[in-house]
Amino acid sequence: MDGGVTGSLKPFNIALDGPAGAGKSTVARMVAGALGFIYIDTGAMYRAVTWKTLRRGVSPEQADEVTAIAGAMDIELLPGAQGQRVRVDGEDVTEAIRMPEINRNVSAVSSIAAVREILVGLQKELAAGKGVVMDGRDIGTRVLPNAEVKVFLTASVEERARRRFGELSNPDITLAQLAEEIAVRDRMDSEREASPLARADDAVLIDSTGMSLQEVVDAVLDLCKAKRGGEE
Ligand code: DC
């Protein structure tokens, strides 16, 4: 474990982007814990809008209605003992936003440019002047273009599918089907017009295929140390 970057660092922003299943949220949470920073899961915000859209009986294809919903809802990301809790208009949706129905619809919602504008605005506000680790798809390119540390975390489709499969307690899907789902989501996230998944020119690429979680966390902490080491 790298203890050299903890302590009295001035707050700064870490942008962590990458495709689905690359381990971003776990890595981001651990890095935030090591630095005493706030972890912000932007995917949860797109999931929350998707949840509210479906709850209202609105199709994710109805861009204007979805945008109105996104503009009027209150999304809270709260630190909790078991990880971040998510509340929409006061209702806890932490588990609900991870359901397969949300997985199937969230790409459509997150491809609506006006929805992205609303959420990107909120994300910028959440990070301003604070020590945050923010994970997503467009953090280094669009949300926090001036982040002091930018990482693009990836792994092969097969490795990402294996990791997700290992997390399922009652898999009703085969490993091959899961890999195909991940590949489809990669394509939708990378090919959409509005802020596609992309590596920022100044982001450091970490391919975690074959790396342990701790090795990835240490690599990110090393980058923080290299960037900020002289500024204490
Ligand atoms: O990271 P995740 O799987 O929870 O993200 C859910 C979806 O939200 C994913 O399909 C991509 C989208 N997303 C996005 O478009 N921009 C972000 N900053 C974060 C997530």
For the segment 191-228, what is each residue's pLDDT rounded down to a tens digit?
888 888 889 999 999 999 999 999 999 999 999 998 87
The residues that bridge with 86 in the sheet, in sequence order, are: 77
Integer Cα distance of 213 and 110 in angstroms: 28
In this prediction, residue 86 has a pLDDT band, given cuts at 50, 70 and 90, of very high
Closest CA to 196 of 18, 14, 16, 13: 18
Average pLDDT for 65-88:
92
Tell me: the pLDDT tens digits for 142-171? 999 999 999 999 999 999 999 888 887 777
Q: Return the pLDDT at 172.
A: 83
Asked whether the predicted pLDDT for residue 231 surpasses 60, the reply is: no
Please give the share of the chain, as a percent, with pLDDT higher than 70: 94
Domain residue ranges of the chain, discontinuous segments joined by + = 12-227
Instruction: State the greatest distance between any 2 C-alpha atoms of the chain, in Å, as a whole number.
Output: 53
Query: Which has the minimum average pLDDT: 76-90, 101-115, 212-226?
Result: 76-90
Query: Ligand 1 centroid vs 150 CA: distance in angstroms?
Result: 17
Integer Cα distance of 170 and 173 in angstroms: 9
Whole-model pTM above 0.95?
no
12-227 belongs to CATH 3.40.50.300: yes
Q: Return the pLDDT at 4.
A: 47
Burial of residue 48, with CB atoms counted within 10 A of its CB: 0-12 exposed, 13-18 middle, 19 or more buried: buried
Question: Which residue is closest in CA terms to ligand 1's atom 6?
Answer: 43
Query: Ligand 1 centroid vs 91 CA: distance in angstroms?
Result: 21
Closest CA to 38 of 73, 74, 11, 59: 11
Question: Which residue is closest in CA terms to ligand 1's atom 2?
Answer: 43
Contact 77, 41 (CB under 8 A): yes
Asked whether the predicted pLDDT for residue 34 surpasses 80, the reply is: yes
The residues that bridge with 149 in the sheet, in sequence order, are: 14
What's the order of all strands across the beta sheet hosting 91-92? 75-78, 85-88, 91-92
Query: Ligand 1 centroid vs 1 CA: distance in angstroms?
Result: 29
In this prediction, residue 118 has a pLDDT band, given cuts at 50, 70 and 90, of very high
Question: Which residue is closest in CA terms to ligand 1's atom 20?
Answer: 43
Q: Which of 39, 46, 86 to mutate to test the pocket of ligand 1 (most atoms within 8 A of CB)?
A: 46
